[in-house]
A and B are shown apart, each in its own frame.
Chain A
Amino acid sequence: MNKKLLSMLTLGAVALFSGCGDESASNGKLSVMLDSNVVSLDSAQCTDSPSFELIADCIDGLMQLDPDGKAIPAIAETFEVSEDGKTYTFHLRDAKWANGDPVTAEDFVFAWRRHCQKAEEYSYIMGSTVACVKNADAVIKGADPSTLGVSAPDSKTFVVELDAPVPFFPALMAFPTFYPVNEKFYNSLDEGTYGTTPETFLSNGAFVLSNYLPGTANIQLKKNPDYWNADKVLLNDWQYQVVSSSDNALTAFKNGTLNLVTINGSQIEHVNKDPELSKQLTSVESGALSYLSFNQDPKNHHAGALSNANLRLAISNAIDRESLTDNYIMNGSKATYTAIPIHFAPNAKTGKFFAEDQNKYSEYVSFDVNKAQDYLNKAKSELNKNEFELELIYANDAGNSTVKVVQAIKSQVESNLPGVTIKLQPMPKAEYLDKVTTNSFDIALTNWVPDYDDPMTFFTLWTTSGSEICEHWSNSDYDKIIEDCTIGSLAADYDARWNAMYNAEKILLENAVIAPLYTNANAMLISPNVTGIDFHVAGVNRVFKYAKLKSND
């Protein structure tokens, strides 16, 4: 009956609007799906990958990454490193902002100082755990920004002083927090309006915004004719569309409205049944690691038991990670048995990924019910307790595979470990972050997105001071290794640092501080006429600068 009414109404609508043509939204234009809103275009405020991606479309930093993730020059034509690896001198090319101003070293100095001074979430990346820019920590805490170790001897030379050598520093320069901001333009705007409309945002990169508003679902970009590398940019205008239902994404892809979409597990099965569509399906590794964090605080109301290493090991060994990825997530995510995700952080010398050997710690992390039960029995006798009720908290992102994963973990742990009960506690992301930072949880499902292509982006999470997620675990050997590798004696010695990080990983896993689960991937459908998109596991995940759309006439 509803249909009858519907068809009546539609007939009316058709009659009313038959004048309007049926041009589809894309119309020969590249349309890319974003799965969440762009948070901010201000590189000091953004915190999420859609923002990083959009900023990188519009602004070039000192360096950029080639398709393999190696740093190649962008705004900096060349750079020199001092003997001790602590001073970088970048020589800028003649690039222009979209308003005609030249891109100068002062723009970088201004941006970097501002980012430290604003002390937003991502200012940490300037500090002593990552980029080690001189005095960055002090400026973040409120010191005079002019003491930051950056300077511009002339308008085309940008000098950065570091507290310690950082082996991945050039690649880091491709990360949006290190991008320049045109000081004159910024100061001409009203307070707080930078990056909120196409008029208040200034590009020096491949594209300029033609339609944008914070929170908008549709973002239009067009080519920047003044871009220094404009010859290589092939897209003239294109758009992002925020799509929150992956079901919608699939149908929109099928009828050609979108050219690049991310889809979920159930849809992949459907796509695989279609020979035409399945050819357009690719799984792109995202480099994000999902793992369980155990709260080891013995005083925590029911976590107490988790201060026992055997209980943690029991849980870690009772989870069938292959089943999680093959049966529930199904988008190409890979079961992971190391603290560092697979296909992440290649060694600069050998080219081998840090976590290439997944069996390295199989003694501690594996799926082995018997072993898990042995650990559990040990834990039971040590704690003198037979029943464990543990709360597993997770952020409830709708449409995400997280919901399926936690239920599968509950089912696996409860059937493999008699006496252990897992209570699932979904919550909004803000509440989740509050719980993990204030130490009120038992087990947390964490999904950590790396910011740069080095194992340290993960290892700094578990130090005593790295308190983002409070495992309440402190190990002086571990802290020592991490300190040595970031600002200490090992920072300059590539091989020694690399090996030391393996030692740190061993400490982490033999104590089962975390239970690694899987390396995330995104299953994407990409139209065959779209080429030239670069995918990266860290930092800016998708680069559209050199993408190409063959017109399909």
Chain B
Amino acid sequence: MNYVPRKDDFEFVANRNLEIDLNFASQGYWKGVAIHFFKNRIAVAGSIIVSLIILFAIFAPILSSYDYHEIISVNDSTGKEIIARSLEPQIAGDSTDFFADKTFLFGTDDMGRDLWTRTWQGARVSLIIAFVAILIDMIIGTSYGLISGFFGGTVDNILQRFIEIIGSIPTLVIISILAIFMDKGIGLVIASLLITEWIGMSKIARAECLKIKEREYVLASRTLGAGSFHIIFKQILPNTIGPIITQVMFSIPVAIFTEAFLSFVGVGIVLPQCSLGSLIEAGFNNITVLPYQILPPISVLALLMLGFNLIGDGFREALAPKLEDM
């Protein structure tokens, strides 16, 4: 049986739509990343957690009936001041106690201040620190490490020795010297993070770069005449994104606790300002007597970290699509 071609079997080449893959090819890289990211339910859950914490950090202190530094007190019949010290979480009731008509969702601290307000106020400071740490890591740490690893030789040697020098000076010494020129407070903490925070990240980026720069595609790129910085930031960086995101996730709590430690020794943020770290420190002093005081800051921090980690995982997968079967 012979098949006789018919007219329907053919079409004009000129009319063919060449952009077939409507899903991917028509999108920009970042749009693709975004689509990927938001398809990932876990990543979306992470974003929701972090956004909720940010929203609470912004609005809870504003909407609260107390200031974060306000010592809640009443005068008793003899005119003696009584403060709402160390009250466990309570909802306004109508008992005869002094403060029973007030609501303290997280209780009060040992100075009679509302822990709900303070926790969210503290979350503000810690979020700022967290984002600063992310920026420092992403910008300074990554480029420093990639450059050091890629160029190798003398450049690497000098950059790495410089890290060894900076890394060897105790944070306390650095910050005490900065404190001569700056006022104490969050600015000082950020300045000290700027000096040391990115070292861990640069080590990771360098190690990744060392691993990748000998790969075939880098070689190919170089053969085709690509410049060093093009190779570093267009070829190598996207392929190191996994460990970099993981490292960022860890540098957040490290930065938050560095701030807490500095406040603890008296060079961090200035009282009555607070941060999650300093609230944890404060709760720690009374941990077995008043355990409810340390729970809110630790839980918020844990949730924040959970959120960041889920987002980080989502990003890793969205940025390096080979992980997913497309």
Contact = CB atoms under 8 A, between A and B. Distances in A.
Nearest to B263: A426
B288 to A, nearest CB: 6
B86 A407 contact: no
B239 interface: no
B110 A265 contact: yes
Given A247-B286, A247-B288, A266 B110 contact: yes
B111 interface: yes
B149 to A, nearest CB: 35
Contacts of A404: 110-111
A250 interface: yes
A410 interface: yes
Interface of chain B: mostly helix, strand, loop or mixed: loop
A327 B285 CA distance: 17
Interface in B67-116: 69-71, 73, 80-83, 85-86, 110-112
B176 A327 contact: no
Contacts of B73: 327
Interface residues of B, number: 30
A328 B289 contact: no
Given A265-B110, A270-B289, A320-B81, A428 B266 contact: yes
Interface string A382-412: 0000000000000110110001101110110
Interface string B266-278: 1100111000000
Interface of chain A: mostly helix, strand, loop or mixed: helix
Contact of B86 (A246, A266, A326): A266
Contact of B71 (A245, A247, A326, A408): A408
A411 B69 contact: yes
Contacts of B111: 328, 404, 407-408
Contacts of A395: 266
Given A327-B85, A327-B112, A403 B271 contact: yes
A270 B270 CA distance: 29
A497 B22 CA distance: 100
A323 B85 CA distance: 12
A500 interface: no
A403 B285 CA distance: 12
B18 to A, nearest CB: 53
A424 interface: yes
A396 to B, nearest CB: 3
Contact of B272 (A245, A396, A407): A407
A408 B113 CA distance: 11
A426 to B, nearest CB: 4
A267 interface: yes
A410 B111 CA distance: 13
Contacts of A86: none
Interface of A: 245-247, 250-251, 264-267, 269-270, 320, 322-323, 326-328, 395-396, 398-399, 403-404, 406-408, 410-411, 423-428, 431
27 contacts: A245-B285, A246-B285, A247-B285, A250-B288, A251-B288, A264-B285, A266-B86, A266-B286, A269-B86, A269-B289, A270-B289, A322-B81, A323-B83, A328-B111, A395-B266, A396-B264, A407-B69, A408-B71, A411-B272, A424-B270, A425-B184, A425-B270, A426-B184, A426-B270, A428-B176, A428-B266, A431-B179
Q: For the complex of A and B, list the 3 residue pairs with the smallest distance between their C-beta atoms, beginning with the closest.
A: A396-B266, A426-B266, A270-B289
